Amino acid sequence: MKLLAVETSTEACSAALSIDGVITEFFELSPKEHTKLILPMIDRLMSDAGLKPQQLDGLAFSCGPGSFTGVRIATGIIHGIALGADLPVVPVSTLAAIAQDFFDQALADNIAFTAMDARMGEIFWGVYQRDELGYAQLLGKEAVAPAGEVEFPDKVGAGIGSGWAVYGEELGRRLGGRVLSIAPGLLPRAQAIARLGVQGFGQGLAVGVEQAMPVYLRDKVAKKESER
C-alpha cells in the first residue's frame, strides 16, 4: 500500500510516505512556517519515490486536536490532494499519533497518559493502550479539560506530550502513583500518522474527502479577550 500522511497540528511540521510498510518522513520543528514547509516536503517525498498522487492508494492526516490554524493547514492540504487525485482519506487523532510514536520507541510501556497543552488553562487529553499488534488504542474518550479534572482508567503507565511540561504537577496529583515516567517533549509526527493511517485502511476507516473533517474538541475555538 502507498499512503501519504501529513501532520501540522503543533509547532512541528512533517510529512511521511508509507510504501508497503516502509515509511520515509521529513520533519522540522519550525513554528508558524508550516505553510512554507509542508508542500515542499510532500513534493520531495513523492519525487524521491517516483510517484504521482494518482498512484497513491490513500491519504492520512492529523485531524486534531491541536492548533486551530495548524489543523486547518493539514485538512486543506489533504482535501486538495484527495479531490485532485480522487483518493480516500483516514483522519487520525493527534493524540493517537503522539501515543503511537511513544509506543514505537518505548517497548516496555503499554499505557500512555497523553496530554497536549490546549491553552486557556486546559489540556487535550486521551489515554492510549498498546494493542496486541503494537497500535495505539484509545481507552475511554478524548477530551479537553483542566489538568486537575481529567478522567483516566485504573492503570499504570507513562505521561507523554506537551501538557505534562506545563501541567505536570496538577496531572501528577490527579493521577497519583499511576505515572511511572514522563516524556513531555513528544510531538506528533507524520510517520505515526502514516502508520495509523495504514491500520485505519485495513479496518475500513477510510472516508471520502467530504467526511475528512478536523476535530477540535473545544466547542469554542477562540475566546474574546474579555472572556480570558
In three state form, how does the secondary structure of the chain look? CEEEEEECCCCEEEEEEEECCEEEEEEEECCCCHHHHHHHHHHHHHHHHCCCHHHCCEEEEEEECCCHHHHHHHHHHHHHHHHHHCCCEEEEEHHHHHHHHHHHHCCCCCEEEEEEECCCCCEEEEEEEECCCCCEEEEEEEEEECHHHCCCCCCCEEEECCHHHHHHHHHHHHHHHHEEEEECCCCCCHHHHHHHHHHHHHCCCCECHHHCCCCCCCCCCCCCHHHC
What CATH number has the domain spanning 95-183? 3.30.420.40
Cis status of the peptide bond prior to 65, with omega within 30 of 0: yes
Per-residue pLDDT, 220? 46
Per-residue pLDDT, 225? 35
Per-residue pLDDT, 219? 65
Reading the chain (228 residues) residue by residue, the pLDDT tens digits are: 999 999 999 999 999 999 999 999 999 999 899 999 999 999 999 999 999 999 999 999 999 999 999 999 999 999 999 999 999 999 999 999 999 999 999 888 899 999 999 999 999 999 999 999 999 999 999 999 999 999 999 999 999 999 999 999 999 999 999 999 999 999 999 999 999 999 999 999 999 999 999 999 986 444 333 333
Per-residue pLDDT, 227? 37
- CATH 3.30.420.40, the chain: domain bounds: 2-94+188-227, 95-183
Per-residue pLDDT, 106? 85
Q: Around Cβ 203, how many Cβ atoms within 10 Å?
A: 10
52, three cell numbers: 504521482
Q: Is 105 exposed, middle or buried (0-12, 13-18, 19+ CB in 10 A)?
A: exposed
Q: Please report, as a single letter, which amino acid is at residue 18.
A: S
What CATH number has the domain spanning 2-94+188-227? 3.30.420.40
Q: How far is CA 228 from CA 221, 222, 224, in A?
A: 12, 10, 7
pTM reported for the whole predicted model: 0.94
Whether residue 153 contacts residue 139, with contact meaning beta carbons closer than 8 Å, is answered with yes
Per-residue pLDDT, 107? 80
